[in-house]
Amino acid sequence: MKLVTGCDIVKLARFAKLIAEPSVKERLFNPDEIGDGSIAHLAGVFAAKEAVVKALGVSAGSWRSIHLTYLANGRPQAELLVPLKNPASCDLSIAHDGDYAIATFVALLR
């Protein structure tokens, strides 16, 4: 077994410019991940996907293959829609503060 981690931080103003371009949202997010559509929320989701990509060593561009869902208590989870890797266990955390969103993903690989 191997423990892997990934972390990403996103500056909201820079991210707002990126997703203002046509079709960027559709390339990055699954429809139900858009939530309230706020820049802070979308930046957090993107940071989480980046953290998963970094931890699992998959190609950036697999954005829609990583699907974020939330438990009833609001805790985020990452579901892999294609067999990118098969973690025995994983955990995801997303936080927002001021001008930034950050996410950390930890997984135990078989």
52-89: pLDDT as tens digits: 999 988 776 778 889 999 999 999 999 887 666 778 89
Looking at the chain, the whole-number percentage of residues with pLDDT higher than 70 is: 95
Q: Could you say which architecture CATH assigns to the domain 2-109?
A: Alpha-Beta Complex (3.90)
Pairing of strands 66-70, 76-80: antiparallel
The pLDDT mean for the chain works out to 91
Question: How far, in Å, CA of 91 to CA of 98, rounded?
Answer: 24
Q: Where are the domains of the chain?
A: 2-109
For residue 14, pLDDT beyond 70 = yes
Please, what's the b/e burial string for 70-99 (b: 16 or more CB within 10 A of its CB; e: otherwise)?
A: eeeeeebebebeeebeebeebebebebeee
Looking at the chain, the whole-number percentage of residues with pLDDT higher than 90 is: 74
Mean pLDDT (whole number) for 2-16? 97
Q: Nearest Cα to 34, choosing from 19, 21, 22?
A: 19
Greatest CA separation for the chain: 42
